[in-house]
Structure 1
Amino acid sequence: MSSLERFLGGSVPGVLLRLVVVSIAVGAVLAWLNISPWDLVASVRRFFERLLSHGFEAVRDLFAYFLLGAVIVVPVWLVIRLMKSTPAGRR
């Protein structure tokens, strides 16, 4: 396995295919939620503007964003880890 493949976590075509599939799935969910890429960019910009203008209040917002993301990320991670630990999930 080359250093590039080690870095990517697999072959280049395989990783690209997985990224395309996941990107389509996430894009479909965001479209279903009526969230555009520009909405996300504007939210990040507003966050940094508030961080600069409100100081510690923005740290509270950062923690709230962390919790909001963790509600989705941690269960997904746990399911993936559980699937990989079962015989059906092993390669």
Structure 2
Amino acid sequence: MATGSSGVSRFFGGSPLGVLLRLLLLCVIVGLILDQLDLNAFELFRWMGRVLEDVLHNSAHVLRAIGRYFLIGAVIVIPIWIVLRILRMGSGRA
């Protein structure tokens, strides 16, 4: 067997023709099952798109909320930290 065809067989995990025939049969079986469940491939893609859109929308909402909490907390924390640093420098401890 030539080195090139050995690489192809290794890539496919067996004889390329055998693998393609198994994939064809698997596609038909999965298509039959999806059809019996009244599922459409395009609907599945639309559903995945909606899920991705919801995740991105919710992520943006979460990031906005975290940013808001950060700013609210920073208004209190940063001035207190500055005052404590100034007091520590005055006492000789840094």
Residue 15 (structure 1) shift: 0.5
Distance in 1 (CA, whole Å) between partners of 2:49 and 2:19 is 30
- Identify unmatched segments of 5+ residues in structure 2: 60-94
CA distance in 1, matches of 2:38, 2:17: 31
TM-score by length of 1: 0.57
Identity among equivalent positions (%) equals 36
CA RMSD of aligned residues (A): 1.6
Larger radius of gyration: 2
Q: Quote the Cα distance in structure 2 between the aligned partners of 1:50 and 1:3.
A: 42
Runs of 4+ in 1 over 4 A off after TM superposition: none
Q: Unaligned stretches of 5+ in structure 1?
A: 56-91
Q: Which moved further from structure 2: 43-52 or 23-32?
A: 43-52
TM-score by length of 2: 0.55
Q: How many residues align?
A: 56
